Structure 1
Amino acid sequence: MDLNLREIRAFIAVAEAGSFTRAALRLHLSQPALTVQIRRLEETLGARLFDRNSRNVALTPVGRELLPVLQKSLREMEHVLLDARALSDGSTGTVRIACLPSFAASLLPDLVRDFRQQVPGAVFDIRDVVASVVNRLVRSEEADLGLTGGEVVDPSLEVLHAGEDRLCVVCPVDHPLARKRRIRLENLVGYPLVLTAAGTSVRAVVDAAFEQAGVAPVLTCEPMYMMTAVAMVRAGLGLTILPGSSREIHAEPSVVARVIDDPRFVRRIALIKKRGRTLPPVTEAFVTALAPALEGTRKGKGK
C-alpha cells in the first residue's frame, strides 16, 4: 500500500471543510483534480471515505475512524520533511569533530561560538584526543572531521585544509632562556625537559628534531596533557616544548614562552575527513568557517 501525502492532505481538507469546493480552494486545486485524489486514496485503502450528494459531504464510518489517524500521520510526516530540509540546507545537525587538545582549548571555542551565532541549530560533538586517536576516529567514522597533527599518510584520509604551528620552549620567567631573543635547538641541549607523552603530535616533532641534530633530550617527565607539562615547569622540573597556539602557555604567569627559531620545530596540522565520504551540510559549513583559522596558522598568526 502506497499512501501519497497529497492524497492524505486532500482527504483531511475535505473532511475539515465539509465540502469539496471549499477544500479545493484551500488546496489551490480544481475540484475535478481534488476528486481524483480522493478516489485514488479510496482505491488505495479499499474503502469509501465520504458519502456525498449534491448538497453535502459526510465522512463514512471508515472515514471517521481514519481521520485522526491520518491527521497525526500527516503532522509527523510534515515534521520529518521539515527536519530533512533543515539537515539538507545546513541549518541544523551535529558537527562531529575529533581534534588535538591544543586546538580544542584555543581556537575551537571561539569558532564554535561564532558558528552557532550564524547557525543556532548546530550541535557539536567534540572529541579532544591525541593525533593518532583523531585519525582513528575519522577512519572508523566515529567523527566526520578531524583536526590532526603531523603528516597524514593514511590513504583512507583526505586533507581538506592544512596549516602549521610553530613550537615554543616554555620556561620560568627567571630562566636564562627567557632573556634570549632567539632560541635554537642547541640552546635547549643539556636542560632537563618535560615532554608530552609519546604518541602526541608535539612529541613526534620534538623527537624528530633532536634525532636530526644527533643529540638526545634530557627527559624528566612525560605527561599526556599540556597543562600538566606547564605545571611541572612551574614546579621547577624542567622546560617544556608546546605549540605556540596552546592557551596553557599563557595561563600561568610564572612561565614564559619563546618561539624556537628552527624549521624542525614546526608541527604540521591538517583538517581531515574520510576519503570518499560526503560530509553533512552543517559540517561542510563549519569546514568553511574553519578554513581561515587554519590559513592563519599557516601564515604564522596567533602564535
Structure 2
Amino acid sequence: MQLELRHLEAVRAIAEAGSLGRAAMRLGVSQPALSAQLRRIEQVTGGELFVRSRIGVEPTPLGEFVLSVACRVLGEMDALTAGTRATAPHPVLRIGCLLLVLVDRLIEPLEEELPGHEIDLTTEHSATTLTRMLGAGKYDAILYGEVGDHEVPLPDGVAARTLVPKEPACVRMSAAHPLAGRQEIDLADLAGETWTTLTDDGDGGPEAMTDACRRAGFTPTLRYRIADRRMRWDLITAGRAVSMCQPTSPQVEGTVLRPLTGDPLTERIRLAWNRSAVTEQRARLLYRAAARAYLDSIPDDTFYRAWWDARPELHPVTD
C-alpha cells in the first residue's frame, strides 16, 4: 500500500480531534474503520503514530514527523484548490453549516438572492471542522454558532459578520415530564436531569451549558452526545434525557420546548467567508439570504416571537 491524501487527512484528523472517536465523526466513518485504516498506515510508516493517554491520543515522535509532512502536503493541495477556484469564471458556491435550525429554510432565499448560482450546501457537526475547511479553501462561506462567551477562531484571509447577536437557549423535554406544564423553567429545577447534546460541535455549547448549570447550583450529568437529530428527539421523547435547543427549533411530537427563566445561556449566529472566493457583494447577498432564513424560522404565537419582537436591536438587516 502507498500513502494517499486520504491517509494524510486521517492522520491530521486524529491529531486535531485528539481521539479516534471524534476523528471518525469528523471524517464521516465508523471508529472501527478508522482504527483499521490507522493500522494500515502504521504498517507503511513502520511504527505507531499515536499512543493513548488519559486525555485521548497523542502523536509519537514518528507521528509528529508524519503529521508535519501531512500538514505541509495537505496545505499545498488546499492552496492549489483555492487558486484554481479563484481563477474559475463561475465557481460553485460552497457553504458549510453547523446543524442550525435556519439551514432547513436556507435554500429558497439563496436561490432568490443568488439566481443562477450553483449551490453546494453541506452540514457539519463541528465548528472546528468548518473553520479549518474554510481556511483550506474547501468551503467559501460557513454559518455557525457561538455559545456563551466562546469565540470560534477564524483562519487568515477570512471575514465574518454576526447574523444574530443573541438568542436564548431553551430546554427540550418529554411532554410527559413533570415540568412540561410550566410556561418557563428555572434552570436550577433541572438539577437531577440527564442531558444530551451534539457531538463535538466546537461552538462552546457543552462548556457554556456546564458553566450555566454550575451558576444555578449544580453540575449537569451529560450522558449522551448524539449527532443525529432524530435520535436525540427519540431519546428526549422517551424521557431519558433533556437538551438545550435553539428557540426556533421545530415542534416535535412527544416533546415540549420551554424557555429558561432569566436567559442563563445565549448563543450568537455568525457568517464567515473566504475573501479570496467571495466578493463583498456576494457576501452581502449571502448574509441577506441567511437573515431571511432565520426570520422565517421564528414561529408565530410562541414565547420566542414575543421575546424577539421586543428586541429590535437584535434583528438582522434584510433590505
TM range (shorter): 0.5 to 0.7
Once residues 292 and 113 of structure 2 are traced to their aligned partners in structure 1, the CA distance between those partners, rounded to angstroms, is 16
Q: CA RMSD in A?
A: 3.2
Q: Say whether the 8 Å CA contact 2:162–2:268 is kept in structure 1.
A: no
1:113-146 Cα shifts (integer Å, max 9, x gaps): 2332464412111121122222222222211111
- How far apart are 1:293 and its partner, in Å? 4.7
Q: Which amino acid aligns with 1:185?
A: L
- 1:93-112 pair list within 5 angstroms: 93-101=91-99, 103=100, 106-112=101-107
- How far apart are 1:283 and its partner, in Å? 5.4
- 1:1-303 pair list within 5 angstroms: 93-101=91-99, 103=100, 106-117=101-112, 119-129=114-124, 130-150=126-146, 151-154=151-154, 156=156, 157-163=158-164, 164-201=166-203, 202-247=205-250, 250=251, 252-274=252-274, 276-277=275-276, 279-280=278-279, 282=282, 284-293=284-293, 300=308
Once residues 110 and 138 of structure 1 are traced to their aligned partners in structure 2, the CA distance between those partners, rounded to angstroms, is 22
Q: Which amino acid aligns with 2:289?
A: A
Q: Say whether the 8 Å CA contact 2:174–2:238 is kept in structure 1.
A: no
For the structure 1 residues 282 and 94, does the alpha-carbon distance in structure 2 shift closer, same or farther, using more than 3 Å as the test?
Answer: farther
Q: Which amino acid aligns with 1:219?
A: L
1:273-293 Cα shifts (integer Å, max 9, x gaps): 24x535156555333322455
More helix by share: 1
What residue ranges of structure 1 are gaps of 5+ in the alignment?
1-85
Q: Which amino acid aligns with 1:215?
A: F
Q: Say whether the 8 Å CA contact 2:198–2:225 is kept in structure 1.
A: yes
1:181-234 Cα shifts (integer Å, max 9, x gaps): 221210111122223234443334312322444521123322123332111112
TM-score by length of 1: 0.58
Q: Tell me the equivalent position of 1:46.
A: none
Identity %: 21
Q: Which amino acid aligns with 2:308?
A: G
Once residues 107 and 146 of structure 1 are traced to their aligned partners in structure 2, the CA distance between those partners, rounded to angstroms, is 13
For the structure 1 residues 300 and 228, does the alpha-carbon distance in structure 2 shift closer, same or farther, using more than 3 Å as the test?
Answer: farther
For the structure 1 residues 186 and 107, does the alpha-carbon distance in structure 2 shift closer, same or farther, using more than 3 Å as the test?
Answer: same
Larger-Rg structure: 1
For the structure 1 residues 114 and 288, does the alpha-carbon distance in structure 2 shift closer, same or farther, using more than 3 Å as the test?
Answer: closer
Q: Tell me the equivalent position of 1:55.
A: none
For the structure 1 residues 200 and 184, does the alpha-carbon distance in structure 2 shift closer, same or farther, using more than 3 Å as the test?
Answer: farther
Once residues 263 and 272 of structure 1 are traced to their aligned partners in structure 2, the CA distance between those partners, rounded to angstroms, is 26
Q: Say whether the 8 Å CA contact 2:102–2:290 is kept in structure 1.
A: no
TM-score by length of 2: 0.56
Q: Say whether the 8 Å CA contact 1:205–1:264 is kept in structure 2.
A: no
Once residues 125 and 198 of structure 1 are traced to their aligned partners in structure 2, the CA distance between those partners, rounded to angstroms, is 23
Once residues 208 and 141 of structure 1 are traced to their aligned partners in structure 2, the CA distance between those partners, rounded to angstroms, is 34
Q: Say whether the 8 Å CA contact 1:230–1:240 is kept in structure 2.
A: no
SS in 1 for 2:287: helix
- How far apart are 1:155 and its partner, in Å? 6.1
Q: Say whether the 8 Å CA contact 1:198–1:204 is kept in structure 2.
A: no
SS in 2 for 1:300: helix
Q: Say whether the 8 Å CA contact 1:184–1:261 is kept in structure 2.
A: yes
